[in-house]
Amino acid sequence: MQAMPTLYVRDVPAELYERLRREAASARRSLSAETIELLRRSLSPRPGISLAELLEGADRIRAEHPLPAGSPTAAELIREDRDR
């Protein structure tokens, strides 16, 4: 079995270290094991968002933040920009 590399991290802020220590304890893992798990999760490939999900999100944002009355449409803005 090949030896695994070692990673040293210096100057960890005390509050971050304490959060890591608490998370490790609650997961019943060592600090090293918890750190490796966090790195693994944060660096793992993320599944892409589907076009339908993207459009749903855009619709939700539009509904939550309507444009003021009389605002130009996207088509009008594009036409105006093209005419410059």
Q: What is the pLDDT of residues 42-71, one digit of tens each?
A: 887 777 888 888 899 999 998 999 888 999
Contact predicate 27/34, CB 8 Å: yes
Per-residue pLDDT, 42 = 87
Higher-confidence residue: 23 or 44? 23
Per-residue pLDDT, 46 = 73
Burial 19-48 (b: 16+ CB within 10 A, else e): eeeeebeeeeeeeeebbeeeeeeeeeeeee
Ordered by start, the domain boundaries in the chain are 1-44
Query: 20: which residues sit within 8 A by CB, 6+ positions away?
Result: 12, 31, 34, 35, 38
